[in-house]
Amino acid sequence: MIRFTGLFFTGEEEQKLIRLEPIRLIRSPRSFHCTFGYKPSHEDIIRFNEIVGETGTVLVDGHGQDEDNTGYRIIIPQEFREYFRNYDKNGILKVPHITMSLSEKGKAVNTCYLDFNKLVEPFEISGKFGFFIDGLNEPSYEKQKVLR
């Protein structure tokens, strides 16, 4: 089952995010990414297949933290906004973000609710669009078949 669609940051880009992080809590997420859609519908998977495997560049323009979560706010360029379908349980589009670290009781899903402060020096970062599939330890950058 596809858990979520997203833009995944690895290698040098992942190290850049860690290096610039002003504070680290005790746990890191499984992967550094921006979720584009949680538990995507068949239609969302078909749409996301259009960009899976491609590289996307976003602007990191804010940072937020509280006792349970730290993370960056990002700006998604116009060309990829139609693929961002990450809604909360009330149907409100979430703030695009990257969870960086968590406390023992912190939950990555709550990073979008942080009070993000504008960075003095915003920076760009590139990642690869992919799927996070239950049972795999790494994202998949392969187009997914949709069975109805």
Tell me the β-bridge partners of 93. 87
Cβ of 131: how many Cβ atoms within 10 Å? 24
Q: Which two tokens stand for residue 111?
A: 């990073």
User: What domains sit in the chain, N to C, each tagged with a CATH number?
Assistant: 2-133 (3.90.1740.10)
Confidence of residue 21 (pLDDT cuts 50, 70, 90): confident
What pLDDT, in 10s, does the model give residues 31-88? 899 999 999 999 999 999 999 999 999 999 999 999 999 999 999 999 999 999 998 8
In the chain, DSSP finds a helix count (H) and a strand count (E) of: 3, 6
pTM of the model: 0.92
Q: CA 109, 137, 82: angle at the middle one, nearest 5? A: 50
DSSP 105-145: S--GGGGGGS-PEEEEEEEEEEEEEEEEETT-SS-B-S---
